[in-house]
Chains A and B, each alone.
Chain A
């Protein structure tokens, strides 16, 4: 009998589990650790869009996301000597980004209480058009349908392609809890999908 884990359609097989840094990133990190300022700049260039994208998805506010991205990289540079060059940098960066954002919102509204529309008046007209164009897209639907936690778990697993362990560690949850969140998110999205 075929095991469910070997079915191409099984959920466990459809999410990636990378845990090793790309050689390019590893080389840049080693150079940066040796004091090469240009390598450090290249690392910032390589990852700032992902950090900004994650913070923008979580804070729903572009100006906040920009400020928090800057703070994230400043903190990261100060703690760079604690990083293992053999491991991917992104989970570590996103962990710093998440903590920075949580500190930022400690006295304000929680992430899941923030309005969806990226805060009134903050978006350019082009941005609003873009948002409207994407209104029916999968991630826009996920944003509308899912709780903040479900969305974050799904984003980290499917968009950032973080391994399960890294996602759990980043969110401060158990692996099982992350699996449950992702499962629930999928169920909700499948339920709201328009039949083909």
Chain B
């Protein structure tokens, strides 16, 4: 007939252990502090965790001897298209920048070259100089910021020639602006 208290104690221990595993409420802490059985249990848990951690390297299956080489090869192969994609992205960006520069130059040429229908539409030499300077500065920024990065990305890349052509287009756009809108000296 004294099995009931024993079961009750075990149930209390089970609850306390469960609550401790989940983060220990004060009641569970109090139980464990006063219960030698639970203290022994947590010592066993700590020993188990230590054993699991120590035996983990041996339990971790080792790959085949040549796996590392095969893995590095497949990673290398995956890397190559990625860098090509990056270079293509740079190329698209440069293309867009060039197109924008051309559009700007063309707009400027049409606007400035139009017959002076209204006095308001006339561009003074000072405005022309300012616009040309702004265009020159914009292109210089492109060259300074974008081109070295792009050049680094496409080093030893077949896209290098195309990149050179884009750069030349950009320069000629700037030259076109300078030639047409900068005031003639002397």
Contacts and interface: CB of A to CB of B under 8 A. Distances in A.
A69 interface: yes
Contacts of B46: 8-11, 13-14
Interface residues of A, number: 56
A110 interface: no
Nearest to A13: B46
B125 to A, nearest CB: 48
Interface SS of B by simple majority = helix
Contact of B75 (A56, A73, A158): A73
Is the interface on chain B under 10, 10 to 19, 20 to 34, or 35 or more residues?
35 or more
Contact of B59 (A3, A40, A139, A186): A139
B56 A44 contact: no
A158 B44 CA distance: 15
Contact of A41 (B20, B44, B61, B75): B75
Contact of A74 (B28, B48, B74): B74
Contacts of A52: 61, 63, 67
Interface of B: 17-18, 20-24, 28-30, 32-33, 39, 41-46, 48-53, 55-56, 58-64, 67-68, 70-72, 74-76, 78-79, 82
Given A4-B20, A7-B39, A11-B21, 17 more contacts: A5-B29, A9-B42, A9-B45, A11-B49, A37-B79, A48-B71, A49-B62, A57-B59, A137-B55, A137-B58, A138-B52, A139-B58, A139-B59, A155-B56, A161-B53, A183-B21, A193-B44
